[in-house]
């Protein structure tokens, strides 16, 4: 599995330090607000698990599933909710926990969808941002790392359901997915 990685971008230690930093920021920003953290499945689960342990305030968690890749390595541009949020978010402080912003289409769709449910606030916490690939202007309240326009795996991100369990974030060798 490790032999399939072209380059490690962020080590396990890099991730731990950044998660601790973001957890502190969230704790300060949401003090006395009981935020609802909504993780986008499946990739955001690992990030959510670490973020919720890094905050020092009470939080609630929920999950949403969204598909835009189909069986491809590139977004199809068509976004579909595969698992909806089961909690009433009206008048709640909501923080979306996302693994990666690639084209930004899925995240923009989620934002519009959740905004229609009247949260008190709606913000984004993203692990990875492919800054050169997304067209929509997306305001991220918290961002861990920028990444190049490569196929990124590890720490929850997968290719064909593999590599999610890698403790680091890396670039997958092209011959694996082409």
* Rounded Cα–Cα distance for residues 148 and 139 (Å): 19
Q: Where are the beta strands (DSSP E) in the chain?
A: 5-10, 36-41, 60-67, 80-83, 93-101, 121-129, 142-146, 152-153, 169-172
Active site residue 88: no
Number of other residues whose CB lies within 10 A of the CB of residue 72? 8
Cis preceding linkage at 42, omega within 30: yes
The active-site residue, picked from 102, 132, 137, 146, is: 102
Which residues are annotated as catalytic? 102
């Amino acid at each position: 599995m490790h032999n399939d990685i072209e380059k490690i971008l962020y080590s396990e230690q890099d991730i731990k330090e950044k998660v601790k930093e973001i957890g502190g920021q969230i704790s300060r920003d949401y003090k006395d607000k009981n935020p609802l953290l909504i993780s986008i499945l499946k990739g955001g689960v690992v990030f959510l698990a670490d973020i919720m342990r890094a905050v020092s305030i009470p939080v609630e968690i929920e999950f949403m599933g969204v598909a835009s890749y189909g069986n491809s390595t590139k977004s199809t541009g068509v976004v579909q909710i595969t698992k909806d949020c089961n909690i009433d978010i009206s008048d709640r402080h909501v923080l979306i926990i996302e693994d990666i912003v690639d084209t930004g289409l899925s995240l923009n769709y989620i934002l519009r969808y959740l905004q229609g449910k009247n949260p008190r606030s709606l913000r984004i916490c993203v692990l990875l941002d492919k800054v050169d690939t997304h067209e929509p202007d997306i305001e991220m309240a918290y961002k861990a790392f920028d990444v190049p326009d490569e196929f990124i795996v590890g720490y929850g991100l997968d290719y064909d359901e593999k590599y999610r369990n890698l403790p680091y974030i890396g670039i997958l060798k092209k011959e694996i997915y082409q």
